[in-house]
Amino acid sequence: MPASKGDRKSTVNNLSPSSAFFHDKLPHDDSSGSFSHYDMSFISSPTPEIDVAWSRAERHVSTKQKVRSFFQNQVDSFKRDNARNIMTRSTPLGSITPGTFHPESGHERIFDQQAAAHNTAISPLIRRLKGRHLQMIAIGGSIGTGLFVSSGKALSDGGPANVLIAYSVIGLMLYCTVHALGEMAVAFPVAGSFSAYSTRFLDPAWGFAMGWNYALQWLVTLPLETVSATITVQYWTTSINNSAWVTIFLVFIVAVNLFGVKGYGEAEFVMGIVKITAIIGFIILGVIINIGGGTDGSYIGGMYWRDPGAFNNGFKGLCSTLVTAAFAYAGTELVGLAAAETANPRKTLPKAIKQVFWRITLFYIVSLMLIGLCVRSDDPRLLGSADENDSDTHGSPFVIAIINAGIQGLDSVMNTVILVAVLSVANASAYGSSRTLAAMAEQGQAPRILAYIDRRGRPVFAILLAMAVGLLAYLAASPNQQDIFYWLLSISGLSSILTWGSICLSHIRFRAAWHHQGHRLEELAFVSHPGLIGSWVGLLINAGILVAQFWTGAWPIGYEQNTTQENIINFFQVYLALPFVLCCYIPYKIWYRTPFMRVSDMDLHTGMRELNVMSLLAEERKEKREWPTWKRWYNLFC
């Protein structure tokens, strides 16, 4: 019996979504609720066939909606987060933008220090890095070409003793530098980190120069490490064009960076574990090889320190290895740059900073000491020491040590680790350059479009710029790829020295302002272990390296046999970063008439995240006083 009009209306109102889908397609009269052509009484007791049909239709619609929603979310993720954007773009009271007239100064071109500090303090970068990410970035991040590949050239130029001295000197300086950076980064976890500290504590013009110096360092490192990856692949095959490998590596780096800072952190965590495991394994293997554990069973000991000798080219050999050592350590300071994207920098950053001691001691000093014991410094296979026709020109000293021991297959394993390490540094270079450029744009020191940060905290246009510069890696197909390698290597190495010197000087000035404005060290959540003395030591070592590099650049090893043109090229390969920094600093200083920051004028408040830090520190210090002695020593280094 057909259902009544009221029953049908009640049934329609209680339809399931799939039933409602069919209902919408049926002709009916909205005013009366009656159906003009169809009797819907069957809905009151639907058959199994109708249930199946509705279920399929519902799944079909749901799948389409999910796919459409997924792609729409991906597109929307590249848009700004309006709430965070409004907050970040708010300008402090009394702010002056460059190019506006300021009656007190009497001229138009003004750099607004207050607005710069404000924008870097509340950058829309998302804080998703965890403690394990930071610790792996500190202890294993950026270990790549400088250690695994370029150490071969350092061994050839300076000999095993000079390599050990050079890497130890740079390591001491970097230990002091990273602790100074950690003290400032825990207090002010702002976007841009060291370039922002130079702007705030030294001179806005110097901050501008250091920002572009650091951005350039990582911009050129991306194609450099990509070229290094293609060189590494040539260990197995030379039949595939280098351009194909460049494409694969660049796509990988782009994909990782599109996942945002969480993608960078996870990638560095995984690749860092691979590198750390490999280096620890090599240290154990190196000891075994040296005491006669190779296939021939011969004891090596200190043989190669006597023949061909511990020192090559005397003091000049030492100076020539310093810039190579600096390049090997480059990237350790990234832990400070990542503070702005860390969930709890006050807790996690100090622990990460302490890991640098083990990175320097274990991964550089110990491993390179074993390299000097297991590989001859006059081995023609070392990078830069063989002639161009030698097929082993691009061999790593780590791989050469394994080959010399006669261990089959392990050389390919080590080469795979080197490839992972190189790609890790390339990934870090995209991160470092994009974050630095975005922070500079926030301060008005770079094109404003580079400050665009989407909903996932990605500085999209800064990343695109880094990827565009990365296309230079296609020059790897050029027959002059070794020349490209050395040019990019030299730019990156000296840039790091300038950055580290600036960090040390910023810390010295920060401490002066901190005391001048009535603060105590007990108010700081983390205090540098080497303290002010360490910052002065780091600054002096950096200055000494610049002087030494000027000498070896103007009068390199064997310069008597070179033509004047070759000596000029060598000088600019070694010292190219300094003219670039001066070209950034002097015009900016003149144009904006920026002041040298006085201790009384330095902003020590903008960007400090936790207002109750004193009470938190008091509780933590009370807890630490109850620790046993062994735990206190452990906490000191870990």
Residue by residue, DSSP assigns 568-629 as HHHHHHHHSHHHHHHHHHHHHHHHH-PPPPPTTT---STT---TTHHHHHHHHHHHHHTS-H
CATH level 3 topology of 113-594: Amino acid/polyamine transporter I (1.20.1740)
d(CA 133, CA 228): 25
Q: How many residues does the chain have?
A: 638
**Burial level of 39, CB count in 10 A (0-12/13-18/19+)?**
exposed
Q: pLDDT tens, 147-192?
A: 887 788 888 888 899 999 999 999 899 999 999 999 998 888 888 7
d(CA 436, CA 466): 11
Domain ranges of the chain: 5-76, 113-594, 608-638
Residues linked to residue 129 through DSSP beta bridges, in sequence order: 342
Residues linked to residue 107 through DSSP beta bridges, in sequence order: 102
**161 neighbors 372 (Cβ within 8 angstroms):** yes
**303 neighbors 390 (Cβ within 8 angstroms):** no
Q: pLDDT tens, 297-327?
A: 788 888 899 888 888 888 888 888 887 788 7
**Hey, CA dihedral for 362, 366, 370, 376, is it positive or negative?**
positive
**592 neighbors 581 (Cβ within 8 angstroms):** no
**263 neighbors 256 (Cβ within 8 angstroms):** yes
Q: pLDDT tens, 550-567?
A: 888 788 777 777 788 878
The pLDDT of residue 354: 80
CB atoms within 10 A of CB 487: 17
Q: Which residues does 95 contact at the CB level (< 8 Å), separation at least 6?
A: 112, 114, 115, 118
Q: How far is CA 349 from CA 179, 262, 287, 337, 344, in A?
A: 10, 16, 34, 11, 8
Q: DSSP 3-state assignment of 107?
A: strand
**496 neighbors 221 (Cβ within 8 angstroms):** no
d(CA 375, CA 416): 20
Spans of the chain below 50 pLDDT: 1-44, 86-107, 385-393
Q: Which residues does 122 contact at the CB level (< 8 Å), separation at least 6?
A: 87, 88
Q: How far is CA 245 from CA 146, 224, 431, 494, 572, in A?
A: 21, 14, 21, 28, 30
d(CA 523, CA 514): 10
Angle at 117 between CA 468 and CA 588, to 5 degrees: 60
The pLDDT of residue 461: 92
- What is the DSSP secondary structure assignment for residue 109, as one 8-state letter? -
The pLDDT of residue 22: 43
Peptide bond into 308 cis (omega under 30): yes
Q: DSSP 3-state assignment of 395?
A: strand
Q: pLDDT tens, 125-140?
A: 787 778 788 878 877 7
The pLDDT of residue 202: 92
Mutual angle of helices 410-442 and 194-201, in 10-degree steps: 40
**443 neighbors 116 (Cβ within 8 angstroms):** yes
The pLDDT of residue 79: 65
